[in-house]
Amino acid sequence: MKITILDGYGMNPGDLSWDGAAALGELKVYDRTAPSEVIGRSADSEALLTNKTVLDGETLRALPKLKYVGVLATGYNVVDTATARQLGIVVTNIPAYSTMSVAQMVFAHLLNVTDRVEHYAEENRHGRWSRNPDFCYWDTPVTELAGKTFGIVGLGHIGQAVAKIALAFGMKVIAFTSKDPEHLPDGVSKAGLDTLFAESDVVSLHCPLTPSTEKLINRETISKMKQGAILINTGRGPLIDEQAVADALRGGKLGAFCADVLSSEPPAADNPLLSAPNSFITPHIAWASKEARERLMQIAVANLKAFIEGHPVNDVTK
């Protein structure tokens, strides 16, 4: 089997091995593939692995030898699955590989806002504490999480992991979810979206991106939030109206915005969130711990092996 990886660098910049995939066939690995290069690089391939390289319907129809697409991520919107289904191409994804890494990033962002460790460390690198007349100083609010309300929008694998950590901090956890109240994790209460916005000191987004959730966070929904609320998005960039969030930060309605995702990645230099006050943006790295990427690699190889053996798993075209 001829196997081509179209954009391997994002997942494996060199600290992991492609040997598992190489053992399954004749393997070619490209760090990145421009849209104009996809068909030429894929023409002889029976299996393609892609992370963010788009495989639209026109591209899939131009690749008659293609039988399998393995998406190196949980989200698979980069592939036209409807066309793949029509053509008999199996498409698989990688579910739940980064749950704990993403949950960890949620609290890295939150603790950055509440404790500002890097700010004080940087100040002290430049001698501020050494020059201080008192034994301590602070020039930002230092906030205790215990007793605060943490609102979670979407209670899948990551949402539930985030809930457990919030509970361990002594926070009250409420969630907007389709799950029945009796099926919620211990300590988590179900809430309507308006109630969640009104009561939460922290709002964290973990819902899928659908037509109904696109720009879920907008001027109207922000107006329902507590004054000074902290908003966290490690889900999908288009869940928020970026200009509305930037304006709410500048006006003080939101206390902070923390995100690992934006609507366009990499973002335009004039994205309003890059310059807004109390906006903390990381470059889509919550999934990228070595441990999570190792799991991703193992599952990607297992998915391809299962397909070759005739019993596909994690098939999103069924």
Of the residues 109, 206, 236, 293, only one is catalytic, namely 236
Contact indicator for 147, 170 with CB cutoff of 8 Å:
yes
DSSP symbol at 185: P
Task: Beginning with the edge strand found earlier in the chain, give each strand of the sheet holding 68-71 in spatial order.
Answer: 26-29, 2-5, 47-50, 68-71, 90-92
Q: Identify whether 157 is a catalytic site residue.
A: no
The β-bridge relationship of strands 172-176 and 229-233 is unpaired
Of the residues 157, 214, 284, 294, only one is catalytic, namely 284
Q: Identify whether 293 is a catalytic site residue.
A: no
Type of residue found at 18:
W
Please state, in angstroms and rounded to a whole number, the distance separating the CA atoms of residues 20 and 311: 18
Token readout for 244 is: 């509305």
Q: Identify whether 109 is a catalytic site residue.
A: no
Please state, in angstroms and rounded to a whole number, the distance separating the CA atoms of residues 105 and 260: 8
Of the residues 26, 37, 265, 291, only one is catalytic, namely 265
- Helix (H) / strand (E) containing 246: helix 242-251
Active site residue ranges: 236, 265, 284
